[in-house]
Amino acid sequence: MPTTLGLSTASWRKSSYSNPDGGNCVEVADNPPGIVPVRDSRDPDGPVLIFPNDSWSTFIATLKSPHRSNS
């Protein structure tokens, strides 16, 4: 995990949509400035996806949009 981005002190939270029995667990860290890191909670030392704040906001807004196509 890259410590140059300050992820060693990141405060991770599990997605509210993660399965409560331990499967499909996505964690997001909200505290690094300017970025949103995302990881698999079952592999906390594994790879981390890094999104710019505005890209993450657009992604979440699209998911929440009632006009999003389900096809």
Q: Is the pTM of this model over 0.75?
A: no
The tokens describing 62, both together, are 């699209």
Residues 6 or more apart from 10 whose CB is under 8 A from it? 29, 31, 32, 37
- Over residues 42-63, mean pLDDT: 91
Angle at 54 between CA 36 and CA 69, to 5 degrees: 100
Q: Contact 15/27 with Cβ under 8 angstroms?
A: yes
Q: Contact 56/48 with Cβ under 8 angstroms?
A: no
Judged by average pLDDT, the poorest of 4-8, 12-16, 46-50, 67-71 is 67-71
As beta bridge partners, residue 51 has 36
Q: Does the pLDDT value for residue 43 go beyond 60?
A: yes
Confidence tier at 64 by pLDDT (50, 70, 90): confident
Confidence tier at 2 by pLDDT (50, 70, 90): very low
